[in-house]
Structure 1
Amino acid sequence: MISPQPLLHDLAVLAVAPLQAWSGSDGQLRRHGAQGIYCADTRVVDEAVLTVNGEEPEFIGESAAQGSEACFVGLVRSLDPGNADPLVTVTRRRIIQAGRITEDILIASDQQEPAAVAVELRLGIDFSPMMSVKSGAPRHPATPHRDGGHWVAQTGQVTASIGAPGASAETYDGGITFRWDVTIPPRGEARLAWWVEADDAKAPFMSGGVPAPAPLLVTAQDPRLASLVARAQADLQGLRMSPVDAPGEVFLAAGAPWFFTLFGRDSLIAARMLLPVDPALAAGTLRTLAARQCTVHDPETAGQPGKILHEVRRGELRLPANSHNGELRLPPVYYGTVDATPLWISLLHDAWKWGMPDGDVQPLLGNLEAALGWLRDWADADGDGFLEYLDTTGHGLANQGWKDSGDSIRWQDGTQAVGPIALAEVQGYAYRAALDGAELLEAFGRPGAEEWRAYAAALAANFRASFWCRDELGPYPALALDADKRAVDGVASNMGHLLGSGILSPEESDVVAARLMQPGMFSGFGIRTLDSSNGGYWPLRYHCGTVWTHDSAIILEGLARTGHLTDAARIASGLVDAAASFDYRLPELFSGHSPEAGGPLPYPSSCRPQAWAAASAVPILLAALRLEPQGPGRLPVAAGKVPTPFGPFSVSGLWAGGVQFTVDVDSRGKAEISPM
């Protein structure tokens, strides 16, 4: 029997690649749903239940001041049942590092007499693949064996080592129970600890080998800004990864728990958002993907020469029929994405503009030419002038844009479109990539610039002729073209990605901006993925009614680029309002409910931390300023000016052209940029 995908919204999570730990809010791991300790794509522990004298502590609080550490506090009232005050507390301080999780246990007493207690930790060992957990498949238990002063369990290439200093141990089928017999002195404390180390010898990626830059310093009249940015940076720190064979190249894993690996689209978009914060991340992402750029035509992997990959796993990925994509079977390296290749081209261009040295760009020019060649030779299978996709295997992704669930492309009446599908936003990505590629080719003395400018002009003309629809509110770009080249008339957030791409005229940008800010699209907290008037809309439908943080952040950037600064500020303000509902950790997605309907609810299986959601803190903070780089050694220029919804604020620690700088913004939106 297939179980539903586990929910995540009420779980506590710590993540530092390649490890992640998911527990109940009380700190207990209860062998339920997604709870457990994971190494790369394998769960190694699925239970860690602590008891004192046979009873679980009564949970009273949790704190997670840092992304790699959390504390869970409970009471042990059975030791002094006649006292109204809780005089014995148990604090579990959990710390995650690359390859190791440690838990320090502090039992503190304010009683006048010593207390003898038996502390037990029941630890379940489970080597279930990540996607088995996601689909609710039976667990894969293993019994550890003693190896010197610790315990070891292993399956295939995955090894887990467990230690509990000072504890006695008793194994059972699928786990081990540790026991400490301690005496807490009067008004004293006892300290215990246990740890897990895990390694996957076959995992293609490891913890990020290059430290992150110093965190941004944000001071603001609105204290929510500093909270949002601090939480985002802690989350991003835990998602930093490097290839095992190139530890100096850092990229961001897409998100925990399900996508804790390299994703072309996700890693590229997050790196672009973070260019003013961590320019080295863009370079690492570009080189990591270039090293895996496809060179052959392989329908099974959806590979084509010059194409940038979709995702990398340690083995074949299988999902059941009740997943968002239906029954799915993907090879370890899968290229089923229509947008990662143009996004790679534009990130290379943008990284160069923000100060990536020519000497670092030069080695990637061959990859650039191959990626442009994919646009010309492979992306338009039927020769109609548009990029489209179609899974030909029957077990790959049916939809291959960022809305990659099987039901995401809908007509206005809610029915689903039939592929091949040409997505609106992908044409905008390709248009911009052609112009960005042309500029790079020209700057580095390579031929072909005029060919790509002509390609962009033709694409814009074809788009204008084929993609526009009209309803009672007026014209707007269609969501996509279907197999019969009909404009799929669903009103969706995809059109927002066209803003700033250059494929729209100024007048067309005005039309798109106005449509996005209509009540059916703007929830008050962000842009809905699908208009609320659509027959397939539901505020908790994955790609058909929810608000995705990165989607709204990309749209507010586009609004700022096209001069719609007030609209950009409204979206930024809405996202900060939403963040307050999620402890300032903006999730991957949340419900499309308006303020009148109660405001945003968690999408219960949303990833967190998630790369492009956390990275969205940067455009939320800076997009309305329209920072434009000016070249190596020069400070950027703030081209935008709009009264900020957050009041005056200052951001220190930004980068452009190899120079670190500070931005001070007054209440009228005027920005002053100065070197640090």
Structure 2
Amino acid sequence: MEHDDVQQQPWLHDLSLTLAAPTQVWSAADGQVGGPGARSGLEGVLHGERRVISVLRLDVDGREPAAVASHSVRGDSTTYVAVPRHLGDPGPDPTVRVERQRHVEPGLVRERYIISSTAAEPVACTLGLLVGADLAPLDGVKAGTGRAPVAPEGVGGHVLSWQQDALRAVLRLPGAHTTHDGDHARATWEVVVPPGESVTHELLLTLDDTRAAVTAPSREPGWNHVEVQSSDRRLGPVVERCLDDLRLLRLAAPGADGVEEEFVGAGAPWFLTLFGRDSLWTARMLLPVSTDLAMSTLRLLAHRQGTRTDDVTAEEPGKILHEVRSAGFSLNEADEDGGDRHLPPVYYGTIDATPLWALTLHDAWRWGAPDDQVERLLPALERALAWAVEHGDADGDGLLEYVDRSGHGLSNQGWKDSGDAVRRSDGSRARAPLALSEVQGYAYAAAVRGADLLEAFGRSGTDQWREWAERLRGEFAQRFWVEDALGAFPAIALDRDKRPVVSLTSNIGHLLGTGILDPDGVDVVARRLVGPDMLSGFGIRTLSTQAAGYSPTGYHVGSVWPHDTAICLSGLAAEGRPEAGPVADALLAALAAFDGRPPELFAGDARSAQPAPLPYPAACRPQAWSAASAVSLVSSVLGLRPDADGLVVDPVQPWAFGETRVSGLGLHGRPQDIEVGADGAVAGTDR
């Protein structure tokens, strides 16, 4: 089948990103943005939900310099080095170079162009910059659709500008001469570089969207500084890079009384906004670093908690939202009637965000979040628990299930939300309403731990939630267990006829640590997760290689997602299972292979077949819960958990990381130094 004439989602795996949410610059590896040489349909300067600048190409005397190297110490700054080979002394040694320094802040992009020379004579040249804008909506860019350029205002001067709706972009080019180049603009600087010296020019782009649903936080993160020193030299750099990316993914939105609340946007480039599931998992994984992030995320989602029933938005009383945008977002896939699936600006189509909200509140409390902050959210907790009974279990059978009643929303509403995510082992797709296995585990744990939290604060009604949870546990045990040639395991879901969807998936790993499994069930799940059909050597596959629908680059049907593996690892560690060791090794190998910036997902090929994880070309990176998986990894292998006496450290055995010292993790406001010896024994914790 030919695909050349089909609009396709841009690939990202070989692009360079400089980021400070909600502003991002995606370029080729040499720093060039868009134009005739573009490698991807994404390249450009993105701000919020628009691509503003689509072309930013540098040349010297009309020729693009030859790329030599690029480097990025932090995610918000990148330097690109190139050589204009037609300039300088004759001979093989380059004597003139062009350095392009890119720095991004929220709403601001600054580039400096430094031409330096060691040539024997002065070097004269024209530094040129082709600039174009299309102001394209992000969903159109994601779909691979083209958009006509938008001509700038101010050509002939040093300041160019574009404005459309609530978006305004202003580009300052000090000292440049600007001219029209079709619908683009061309800026030029006449340059003379004396021997042994350099000449610098720059641009400054400011961006503002007054209609934006989310903005940059007004303050720096109050997170503990985390440092990892280990005999396993992969650990420290991975954690440092992932925390830097999480810092740059931070966003904010107004909560109750207009108070700014901080959260972590789901991921670049498409999902730099508030996502219930993603932002909660990220905050939950970062609890050893900060409870403040979790509490602000919880407050913001509680402020948006559902109050009415609306099939178009999937809102229901007590329900936690799926995502927020300033405008609707097209999914660029057909619905059942052949129309376009598209989401409204505020969309609640998620089955798991509500129990995950309850679990995150409980866990934040256990990790030391202030009692007064927790207590103010207890009414929202009660509404969330009530939602599970009154709306999450729509047919009253004791299980949580979902179905898209609008006809144009998400057809699957768990974390695996692609249209083909829930398949039987023969490859056929299950039809909604669907009751996902892991959601039953979340709901059980949310009811039990929610009851514990309510009881601790003297609230009534706790017995009903424990009784409801036990009924759910019984229904799960009776209805979800299936068998294949290798033995028993929980099905991924029950279909609309309440038949088990027999397929071995990573979903079962999310059941560990929830309490919904008995000891025998824990043993089965742990062993099945590390079988050769599930554990690739770089993580746990989303679908067993034995399934007919398995594809190593299938989005949810064979790929590996770092956060998914981290959740499985956390459950294995919580259950005290030895399988935690090989899963931790696989996850760390993947994080290190991507230089500490793990993508949303990667291919599920076996490590024995591919010595490095194969990129999924369209995967977002950085992505919040993928980055947070590095912290979750460290927390899991150290066996960190809070109890009444403080922080418990119980490293997984056998210990495979050598002498390790970790500082900055701990209970709220009380980071500790944790030392583990080469034998895995805790050498000490300083409180």
TM-score bin, normalised by smaller chain: over 0.9
Instruction: Quote the Cα distance in structure 1 between the aligned partners of 2:495 and 2:261.
Output: 39
1:89–1:108 contact (8 Å) kept in structure 2: yes
1:629–1:657 contact (8 Å) kept in structure 2: no
CA distance 1:481–1:528, change in 2 (3 Å) = same
Instruction: Quote the Cα distance in structure 2 between the aligned partners of 1:549 and 1:240.
Output: 20
User: CA offsets, 1:92-132, max 9 Å, x none?
Assistant: 11001111010111111110100111001101111000010
Structure 1 residue aligned with 2:636: 623
CA distance 1:672–1:431, change in 2 (3 Å) = farther
Structure 1 residue aligned with 2:499: 486
User: CA offsets, 1:116-162, max 9 Å, x none?
Assistant: 11001101111000010011222142222239852221100111110
1:141–1:173 contact (8 Å) kept in structure 2: no
**Post-superposition shift, 1:624?**
2.5
Instruction: Quote the Cα distance in structure 1 between the aligned partners of 2:183 and 2:158.
Output: 20
Q: Which amino acid aligns with 1:13?
A: L
Structure 1 residue aligned with 2:164: 155
2:30 to 6, 26, 29: 26
**Post-superposition shift, 1:322?**
7.5
1:222 to 224, 232, 256: 232
2:114 aligned counterpart, secondary structure: strand
Q: Which 4+ stretches in 1 moved above 6 angstroms?
A: none
CA distance 1:421–1:619, change in 2 (3 Å) = same
**Post-superposition shift, 1:208?**
2.1
Farther-moved stretch of structure 1 (343-352 vs 227-236): 227-236
1:637 matched to 2:645? The reply is no
1:635–1:674 contact (8 Å) kept in structure 2: no
Structure 1 residue aligned with 2:588: 576
User: CA offsets, 1:192-212, max 9 Å, x none?
Assistant: 111211111101111123312
User: CA offsets, 1:43-79, max 9 Å, x none?
Assistant: 1001100000111010011101111111111011101
Amino-acid identity (%): 46
1:326–1:406 contact (8 Å) kept in structure 2: no
RMSD: 1.7
Which consecutive unaligned segments of at least 5 residues does structure 1 have? none
Q: Which amino acid aligns with 1:14?
A: T
User: CA offsets, 1:619-656, max 9 Å, x none?
Assistant: 2122022212135xx63011344233222211111130
Structure 1 residue aligned with 2:344: 331
Q: Which amino acid aligns with 1:168?
A: H
Q: Which amino acid aligns with 1:635?
A: G
Instruction: Quote the Cα distance in structure 2 between the aligned partners of 1:214 and 1:444.
Output: 28
Instruction: Quote the Cα distance in structure 2 between the aligned partners of 1:98 and 1:479.
Output: 41
1:359 aligned counterpart, secondary structure: helix
Instruction: Quote the Cα distance in structure 2 between the aligned partners of 1:166 and 1:480.
Output: 63
Please give the residue correspondences for 1:302-451 in structure 2 after superposition, counting only pairs within 5 Å. 302-321=314-333, 327-451=340-464
Please give the residue correspondences for 1:543-558 in structure 2 after superposition, counting only pairs within 5 Å. 543-558=556-571
**Post-superposition shift, 1:164?**
1.1
Structure 2 residue aligned with 1:237: 247
Instruction: Quote the Cα distance in structure 2 between the aligned partners of 1:623 and 1:673.
Output: 18
Please give the residue correspondences for 1:460-475 in structure 2 after superposition, counting only pairs within 5 Å. 460-475=473-488
Instruction: Quote the Cα distance in structure 2 between the aligned partners of 1:653 and 1:174.
Output: 52
1:674 aligned counterpart, secondary structure: strand
Structure 1 residue aligned with 2:69: 61
CA distance 1:668–1:322, change in 2 (3 Å) = farther
Instruction: Quote the Cα distance in structure 1 between the aligned partners of 2:310 and 2:253.
Output: 23
2:158–2:177 contact (8 Å) kept in structure 1: no
Please give the residue correspondences for 1:639-658 in structure 2 after superposition, counting only pairs within 5 Å. 639-658=650-669
**Post-superposition shift, 1:358?**
0.9
CA distance 1:228–1:326, change in 2 (3 Å) = farther
Instruction: Quote the Cα distance in structure 1 between the aligned partners of 2:677 and 2:261.
Output: 38
CA distance 1:667–1:327, change in 2 (3 Å) = farther
Q: Which amino acid aligns with 2:59?
A: T
Instruction: Quote the Cα distance in structure 2 between the aligned partners of 1:396 and 1:214.
Output: 39
1:13 matched to 2:24? The reply is no
1:224–1:576 contact (8 Å) kept in structure 2: yes
Instruction: Quote the Cα distance in structure 2 between the aligned partners of 1:129 and 1:673.
Output: 53
Q: Which amino acid aligns with 1:652?
A: S
**Post-superposition shift, 1:657?**
3.9
Instruction: Quote the Cα distance in structure 2 between the aligned partners of 1:672 and 1:450.
Output: 42
1:70–1:93 contact (8 Å) kept in structure 2: yes
1:209–1:249 contact (8 Å) kept in structure 2: no
Instruction: Quote the Cα distance in structure 2 between the aligned partners of 1:27 and 1:640.
Output: 43
Q: Which amino acid aligns with 1:379?
A: G
Structure 2 residue aligned with 1:606: 619
1:95 to 95, 103, 109: 103
**Post-superposition shift, 1:581?**
2.4
Structure 2 residue aligned with 1:139: 147
Instruction: Quote the Cα distance in structure 2 between the aligned partners of 1:192 and 1:543.
Output: 47
1:643–1:667 contact (8 Å) kept in structure 2: no
Structure 1 residue aligned with 2:309: 297
Farther-moved stretch of structure 1 (164-173 vs 184-193): 164-173
1:470 aligned counterpart, secondary structure: strand
TM-score calculated relative to the size of structure 2: 0.95
Count residues in correspondence: 673
CA distance 1:48–1:244, change in 2 (3 Å) = farther
CA distance 1:326–1:218, change in 2 (3 Å) = farther
**Post-superposition shift, 1:247?**
6.0
Farther-moved stretch of structure 1 (583-592 vs 288-297): 583-592
1:208–1:247 contact (8 Å) kept in structure 2: no
Structure 1 residue aligned with 2:536: 523
CA distance 1:247–1:240, change in 2 (3 Å) = farther
**Post-superposition shift, 1:463?**
0.2
Instruction: Quote the Cα distance in structure 2 between the aligned partners of 1:340 and 1:672.
Output: 39
